[in-house]
Amino acid sequence: MKFAIWGFQSDAEISRHVTEILESLIREGHQLYLLDSFAELLGVDNPDVNVISENEIPSDTDFIISIGGDGTLLSAAQAVMRTPIPILGINLGSLGFLTSLERDWRSGLTEIIKGRYHIEERMVLNCRLEFPDGSEETLWALNDVVIERADIFNLLSLEVRVGDELLNRYLSDGLIMSTPTGSTAYALSAGGPIIDPSLDAILITPISAHTLSVRPVVLTGEENIYLKLSKPDSHAHLHIDGKNTRQIDSSLRIRIRPSAYRIQLVVTPENTFYEKLRKKLHWGQRSS
């Protein structure tokens, strides 16, 4: 089997786990690829490991093993957005909503290699930036597209349309457009609902809205959603999955819709979405 090892942070714990994973997979005769920047951070120099850039991941790779937390997995998702390579996340971070295995990954990895897993296809947002000169830029988000105010002393005024119909003119610190996968990320901390990741839906969650009656809205995603800064000469920050930041202004229109791409996440029988909710959010546990 072919494995690509993905990560972008290094400390003693990460180095120890990566070394053990590489040694284990090499012993079993698997073909290994390691992201070049990650290999440099870890000081890996092994003739049995192919060091590659993120653009050189073989299309027939069986799994990308993301080692870190949810942020690491999101960056891996960006790298394989147009290639249906399953992502197996090993959580060495804190929460780990997207990852399948924890620090005691050994038996779980063995079971996955034996085929005891299933794939969850996760919806992706297509975010198209439409510039006044007619040019466009397309970005993709597994979690969310976030627009936040650039001026800390003024609220952001943002017009949102669903198809041709006005949804609302939001006055807030910002707006989160998230997938069901992203509903347990920034949107959850901003007061949004948790959405089953098997659904195709787009969640709009205002950040500190000026009017308390403005609440999160869940849309089907069957129509294009258009966003535009309402005030002339206003500016904001656009973030894709917490990265890929762009500076935007009122001359730009943003179109959001579900993408044709899907991210494939490896899920083990004992680590389903509902199990994660109970475990990670401590549901059913009494506070001491």
- Does 70 qualify as catalytic in the annotation? yes
Q: How far is CA 43 from CA 19, 46, 158, 233, 282, in A?
A: 10, 10, 47, 48, 38
User: What DSSP letter does each residue of 163-202 carry, written as one string?
Assistant: TTEEEEEEEESEEEEE-TGGGGTHHHHTTPPP--TTS--E
Tokens 């006055």 locate to: 171
Tokens 């500076």 locate to: 247
Residue count of the chain: 288
- Cβ neighbours of residue 243 under 8 Å, at least 6 residues apart? 74, 75, 78
Measure the CA dihedral 242/237/199/193, to 10°.
Answer: 90
Marked catalytic residue, from 62, 70, 151, 233: 70
By annotation, the residues acting in catalysis are: 70
